[in-house]
């Protein structure tokens, strides 16, 4: 079967497509947590629709046990640089983030966050993300968040190396 033709609406995000592996391991921190490192695989694809599909799968650095998981969609408003990032996470959070793509950088901020009724506290109240393709052709992601007990603080930073187109 032929791979689908990319919908031109998502062309401004084509630099994100592929399978990416953390290189080096990602770094996490937050005031209530001990700093940690993790491995992650990011898979960003399309099926010809005006939307990208994504999954991020994190693993413990030493044991390789699964950790954080999230999957969803990235949509562009046609004929603009406006982007929506829709994500469901294994922590029970579902979020919509919105922002803009400018060149090879995508900056988004939470528009709405919902959580399951028994999500552990403190609850996430706001998230920001920045994706960018650096000069070495690696994808970087920085995630900051605010919770019911902490103001907006950087939480994660990871650099990925592309392993498949």
Q: What is the pLDDT of residues 18-47, one digit of tens each?
A: 999 999 999 999 998 899 999 999 999 999
Q: Within a domain: residue 101?
A: yes
**pTM score, whole prediction:** 0.95
Overall number of domains in the chain = 1
Q: Within a domain: residue 96?
A: yes
Instruction: Pick the closest to residue 146 from 117, 113, 107 (CA basis).
Output: 113
Torsions phi, psi for 97 (to 5 deg): -115, 145
Domain CATH number, residue 37? 2.40.128.20
Domain with 96 in it: 8-164
Q: Within a domain: residue 2?
A: no
Q: What is the pLDDT of residues 59-103, one digit of tens each?
A: 999 999 999 999 999 999 999 999 999 999 999 999 999 999 999
Residue position matching structure tokens 């966050």: 113
Q: Within a domain: residue 29?
A: yes
Q: Within a domain: residue 95?
A: yes
The DSSP result for 108-123, as a single string, is: EEEEEEEE-TTPPSSP
Q: Within a domain: residue 156?
A: yes
Tell me how long the chain is. 165
List of residues 6+ apart from 96 with CB closer than 8 A? 84, 85, 86, 87, 110, 111, 112
Q: Within a domain: residue 1?
A: no
């Amino acid at each position: 079967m032929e791979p689908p033709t990319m919908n031109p609406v998502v062309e401004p995000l084509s630099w994100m497509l592929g399978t990416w592996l953390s290189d080096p391991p990602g770094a996490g921190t937050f005031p209530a947590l001990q700093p940690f490192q993790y491995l992650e695989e990011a898979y960003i694809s399309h099926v010809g629709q005006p939307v990208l599909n994504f999954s991020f799968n994190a693993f413990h650095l030493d044991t390789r046990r699964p950790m954080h998981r999230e999957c969803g969609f990235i949509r562009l408003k046609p004929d603009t640089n406006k982007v929506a990032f829709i994500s469901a996470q294994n922590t029970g959070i579902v979020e919509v983030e919105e922002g803009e793509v400018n060149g090879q950088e995508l900056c988004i901020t939470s528009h709405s966050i919902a959580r399951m009724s028994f999500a552990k506290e403190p609850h996430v109240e706001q998230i920001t993300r920045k994706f960018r393709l650096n000069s070495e052709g690696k994808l970087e992601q920085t995630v900051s968040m605010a919770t019911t007990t902490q103001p907006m603080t950087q939480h994660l930073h990871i650099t990925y190396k592309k392993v498949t187109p």
